Chains A and B, each alone.
Chain A
C-alpha cells in the first residue's frame, strides 16, 4: 500500500534533482497529463482495494488517458476553445470519486479490524 507513495516521492526527488524544464507553452499539456496519470493511479488503488485490479487495464489506461488528455488540450488550443477544461473536469470528478471510495473502503477495514480487536 505504501509503495505508490514511496514511488511518488522517489519520482519527485528524481525530477527535482535532474532540473529539467519544459517550455512554458507546454506546461498546460503536462499539467493535464499529470492529472490524467493521477486519476489512473487512484483508479488503480481503488481497484486494488476492491480486488478487481487488472494490470493490463491499469497500464494501458495510464498511457491512453495521458495521450487522450494531451491531444484534447492540443485540439482545444488549435480550435481556440479551452477544451482541456473538459479533461480537467472529467478527471477531477473521477479523482474525487475514487478517493471517496478508497476512503470508505479503508474506513470499513479499519472499523472491522477494531471490532476484531475488541472481540478478542
Chain B
C-alpha cells in the first residue's frame, strides 16, 4: 500500500514535469522555414515591397498636406482671431480667473491694541484702501483682488453707512486679504521689495491696522470679476455703418 502510494506521487510529479517540459518546448520552438527563393524571386519581392512603401509614403504625404491645410485655415479664420481677441480682452478686463506670481497682503488689527482693550478699528477706510491700491498699481501690479473681490478699471471703493464697500460688496471684518498678481517672478520680487519700504505700512499703523506683506510666491490665484461690466457710453456698431471691412 505504502509502496503504491509512493510510486503514485512519483509518477504524478513526473507527469507534471513532462507536461511542463513539453509546453516549454512548444513555446520556445519556432518552425524553421528555409528561404528557397532564387535571385529573381527575391528581386520581385523587393520590388513589391518598394511599391507598397512608395504608396504608403504618398498617402502619408497627402494626409499631412491636408492636415496642414486645415490647420492654416483654422489659424487664418476670422472666428479664431475674434475668439483670441475676446479672450485677450476678457483677460485684460479681469473677467477671468488668473494664477500669476505675486504677493499676499494681509490687513489685521494691531494685537497690542486688542490687549489694552481700547476700541479697535473694525474696517479699513476707503481712502486708505484706495491709496494702497494706487501704490500697488504704481509698482506694476496687474491683477488685484481685495477680500475675494477683483479690482478692475471701473471698480469703486466707497463708504456707505460707515461700511467700506467695493463695487457694492461689503468688506468682511478684519483680517482682510489682498492678493496681488504680476507678470513674472522678477516683478513680484520687485513689488515685494518696494512694498516693504513703502509708506503704506505706516499709514495703516496710524489707523491702528497692521499690513503684513508675504514673501513673493510663484502662483497667486486671483478670482474673476463676477459682476456684469456696465458700459454706459459705448454702443455696438450697426452692420451698415462704418467701414466696409
- Give B1-37 interface residues, CB cut-off 8 Å to A: 5-7, 9-28
What 9 A-B pairs have minimum CB-CB distances, sorted nearest first? A11-B18, A15-B22, A7-B14, A11-B15, A7-B11, A4-B14, A12-B18, A11-B19, A8-B18
Asked if A12 contacts B6 (CB within 8 A), the reply is no
Q: How far is the CB of B40 from chain A (nearest CB, A)?
A: 36
Asked if A33 contacts B20 (CB within 8 A), the reply is yes
Contact check: which of A19, A34, A59 meets B24 at CB < 8 Å?
A: A34
Q: How far is the CB of A81 from chain B (nearest CB, A)?
A: 23
- Whether A20 is near chain B, meaning CB under 8 Å from some CB there, is yes
Asked if B14 contacts A5 (CB within 8 A), the reply is yes
Q: Using Cβ atoms and an 8 Å threshold, which residues of chain B touch A13?
A: 18, 22
C-alpha gap A14/B25 in the complex (Å): 13
- Whether A113 is near chain B, meaning CB under 8 Å from some CB there, is no
Q: Using Cβ atoms and an 8 Å threshold, which residues of chain B touch A48?
A: 6, 10
Instruction: Name B residues whose Cβ lies closer than 8 Å to a Cβ of A.
Output: 5-7, 9-28
Q: Given A27-B28, A53-B6, A59-B9, is A9 in contact with B18 using a C-beta cutoff of 8 Å? A: yes
Asked if B20 contacts A24 (CB within 8 A), the reply is no
C-alpha gap A12/B16 in the complex (Å): 9
C-alpha gap A14/B19 in the complex (Å): 6
Q: How far is the CB of A62 from chain B (nearest CB, A)?
A: 5
Question: In chain A, what residue has the closest Cβ to B20?
Answer: A34
C-alpha gap A30/B25 in the complex (Å): 10
A contacts with B: majority SS: helix
Asked if B21 contacts A10 (CB within 8 A), the reply is no
- Whether A37 is near chain B, meaning CB under 8 Å from some CB there, is yes
Asked if A14 contacts B22 (CB within 8 A), the reply is yes
Which of A9, A19, A30 neighbours the largest number of chain B CB atoms within 10 Å of its CB? Answer: A30
Which of A6, A8, A14, A21 neighbours the largest number of chain B CB atoms within 10 Å of its CB? Answer: A8
Q: Given A22-B27, A27-B27, A55-B6, is A34 in contact with B11 using a C-beta cutoff of 8 Å? A: no
Contact check: which of A24, A34, A53, A55 meets B17 at CB < 8 Å?
A: A34
Asked if A6 contacts B20 (CB within 8 A), the reply is no
Q: With A8-B18, A41-B14 given, name 8 new contacts (CB 8 A).
A: A11-B18, A15-B21, A27-B27, A27-B28, A44-B10, A48-B6, A58-B9, A62-B13
Question: In chain B, what residue has the closest Cβ to A7?
Answer: B14
Q: Using Cβ atoms and an 8 Å threshold, which residues of chain B touch A24?
A: 27
Question: In chain A, what residue has the closest Cβ to B22?
Answer: A15
- Whether A67 is near chain B, meaning CB under 8 Å from some CB there, is no
Q: Using Cβ atoms and an 8 Å threshold, which residues of chain A touch B13?
A: 7, 37, 40-41, 44, 58-59, 62
Contact check: which of B10, B24, B25, B27 meets A7 at CB < 8 Å?
A: B10
Question: In chain A, what residue has the closest Cβ to B18?
Answer: A11
Q: Given A4-B10, A55-B9, is A41 in contact with B23 using a C-beta cutoff of 8 Å? A: no
Contact check: which of B5, B10, B15, B28 meets A10 at CB < 8 Å?
A: B15
Asked if A7 contacts B6 (CB within 8 A), the reply is no
Asked if A14 contacts B15 (CB within 8 A), the reply is yes
Asked if B19 contacts A12 (CB within 8 A), the reply is yes
How does the 8 Å CB contact mask read for A15-48 relative to B, with 1 for contact and 0 for none? 1100111101001001101100110110010001
Q: How far is the CB of B69 from chain A (nearest CB, A)?
A: 44
Question: In chain A, what residue has the closest Cβ to B24?
Answer: A30
